[in-house]
């Protein structure tokens, strides 16, 4: 399995990989997530991920694209309540179903953690939706720990 930085030539592969995870989210939370569609806006959004100098976009490949990880290097300035924080924030991590449990996710995560370490960044954060038990298990297995919880209330009784 090869892990490499994605380029704009990989847009189709990234969009295809994203389709699965976008549909999983739309199925679980249809009031929040749209079903995947290849809109011009989607293509441009992914293109911007790749060309953004603060982004890290990694692609896992074997015989075909197996997964991707998109993260951003962030510097949160100090304010009245919080200390300055430099971190790598993982926005997306997707492994195609047929490549799960074949080390693609571990290799993507290891490459992201190595990139953070190489920049002297000691903290990596991400969020995971509560319905995504497989992802929660994966992240916990790789040393991620719960540090914040988000709650919601719906005023719509349906």
115-145 pLDDT tens trace: 999 999 999 999 999 999 999 999 999 999 9
Q: Which residue has the higher pLDDT, 157 or 54?
A: 54
Cα separation values, 58 from 22, 27, 55, 74, 95, Å: 18, 26, 10, 17, 12
Q: How far apart are CA 89 and CA 146, in angstroms?
A: 15
CB contact at 8 A, 21 and 92: yes
Fold (CATH) for 2-141: Aminopeptidase (3.40.630)
Position 158 confidence tier, pLDDT thresholds 50, 70, 90:
low
| 55 has a pLDDT exceeding 80 | yes
What confidence score (pLDDT) does residue 157 get? Answer: 65
CB contact at 8 A, 65 and 106: no
What confidence score (pLDDT) does residue 78 get? Answer: 94
What confidence score (pLDDT) does residue 40 get? Answer: 79
This prediction has a pTM of 0.92
């Amino acid at each position: 399995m090869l892990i490499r930085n994605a380029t704009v030539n990989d847009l189709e592969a990234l969009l295809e990989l994203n389709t699965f995870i976008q549909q999983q989210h739309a199925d679980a939370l249809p009031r929040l997530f749209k079903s995947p569609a290849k809109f011009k806006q989607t293509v441009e959004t992914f293109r911007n991920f790749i060309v953004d100098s603060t982004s890290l976009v990694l692609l896992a490949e074997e015989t075909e694209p197996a997964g991707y990880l998109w993260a951003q290097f962030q510097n949160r300035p100090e304010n009245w309540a919080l200390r300055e924080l430099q971190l790598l924030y993982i926005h997306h991590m997707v492994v195609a179903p047929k490549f799960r449990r074949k080390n693609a996710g571990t290799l993507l995560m290891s490459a992201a953690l190595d990139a953070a370490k190489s920049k002297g960044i000691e903290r990596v954060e991400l969020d995971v939706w509560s319905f995504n038990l497989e992802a929660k298990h994966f992240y916990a297995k790789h040393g991620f720990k719960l540090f914040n919880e988000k709650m919601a209330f719906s005023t719509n009784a349906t």
